[in-house]
Amino acid sequence: MAAAPAASLEDLTRGLWRENPVLVQMLGLCPTLAVTNSVANGIAMGVATLFVLLGSNVLVASLRTVIPKEVRITSYILIIATFVTTADFTLEALVPRIHAALGPFVALIVVNCIILGRAEAFASRVSVRRAALDAIGMGTGFTMVLLMMSGVREVLGSGTLLGMALFGGRFEPWVIMVLPPGGFLTLGIFLLLLAWRAERRQRVQEA
Amino acid sequence: MTTAHAHPSPAASAPGSGTPSWRLLTILSLSGALAGGLIVSAYRATLPPIEAHRAARVEAAIREVLKLPARWDTLYLDRGALTKRLPDGANPKAVERVFLGFDSNGNPVGAAITAGRPGFADIINLIFGLDPTSGTLLGMKVLTSKETPGLGDKIYRDSGFVRQFRGAVAPLKGVKDVSGRSQSEVAVITGATISSRTVIRIINEATARWQPLLQAYRAKATP
For residue B101, tell me if it sits in a domain.
Answer: yes
Q: What's the rounded Cα separation, in Å, for the pair A122 and A129?
A: 12
- In a domain? residue B85: yes
Mutation pick from B1, B9, B27, B146 vs chain A, by most beta carbons of A within 10 Å, is B27
| B-proximal residues of A, 57-86, CB under 8 Å | 66-71, 74-75, 78-79, 81-82, 85-86
> For residue A49, is it within any domain?
yes
**pLDDT at residue number B9:** 41
pLDDT of residue B132: 92
Q: Does A54 touch chain B (CB under 8 A)?
A: no
Taking an 8 Å cut-off on Cβ atoms, the answer to whether A68 and B148 are in contact is: no
Residue B103: inside a domain: yes
pLDDT in tens, A63-104: 999 999 999 999 999 999 999 999 999 989 988 888 887 877
Residues of A in contact with B19 (CB under 8 A): 68-70
Residue A167 covered by a domain: no
Say what the ipTM of the complex is: 0.77
Instruction: Tell whether the model's pLDDT for residue A5 goes beyond 70.
Output: no
Q: How many domains does chain A have?
A: 1
Strands B71-78 and B108-118: unpaired
How many contacts (CB atoms, under 8 Å) link A and B? 70
Per-residue pLDDT of chain B (223 residues; tens, 9 = 90+): 344 444 444 444 445 557 899 999 999 999 999 999 999 999 999 999 999 998 898 899 999 999 889 999 999 998 888 988 887 887 877 889 999 999 999 899 999 999 999 999 889 999 999 999 999 999 999 988 888 777 888 899 888 999 999 999 989 999 988 887 888 999 999 889 999 999 999 999 999 999 999 999 988 876 5
In chain A, what residues touch B35 (CB-CB under 8 Å)? 78-79, 81-82
Q: How many domains does chain B have?
A: 1
Give the residue numbers spanning the domain of A76. 9-148
Instruction: Give residue A165's region: left, alpha or beta (phi > 0; psi -120 to 50).
Output: beta
Q: Which domain holds residue B119?
A: 46-221
Q: Are the C-beta atoms of B148 and B119 separated by less than 8 Å?
A: no
Least Cα separation, residue A18 to chain B (angstroms) = 33
* Cβ B203 vs Cβ B172: under 8 Å: yes
In a domain, A176, yes or no: no
Q: A201 CA to chain B: closest CA distance, Å? A: 39
The answer to whether residue A56 neighbours chain B at the CB level (below 8 Å) is: no
Q: Is B112 helix (H, G, I), strand (E, B) or coil?
A: strand
Q: How confident is the model at residue A6 (pLDDT cuts 50, 70, 90)?
A: low
Q: Cβ B1–A69 below 8 Å, yes or no?
A: yes
Find the closest chain B residue to A175 by CA distance. B150
Q: Note whether residue A98 is domain-resident.
A: yes
In a domain, A106, yes or no: yes
Tell me the C-alpha to C-alpha distance, in Å, between residue B28 and each of A14, A52, A72, A111, B4.
33, 21, 10, 20, 23
Identify whether B3 is part of a domain. Answer: no
Residue at B172 is within a domain? yes
**Structural domain contains residue A181:** no
Alpha carbon A23 to chain centroid distance?
Answer: 10
Residues in chain A: 207
Whether A19 is in a domain gets the answer yes
* Chain A residues whose beta carbon lies within 8 Å of the beta carbon of residue B61: none
* A51 within some domain: yes
- Work out the average pLDDT over A125-140: 95
Q: From the list B35, B43, B53, which residue is nearest A78 (CB)?
A: B35
B53 inside domain: yes
Inter-chain residue contact B24 with A158, CB threshold 8 Å: no
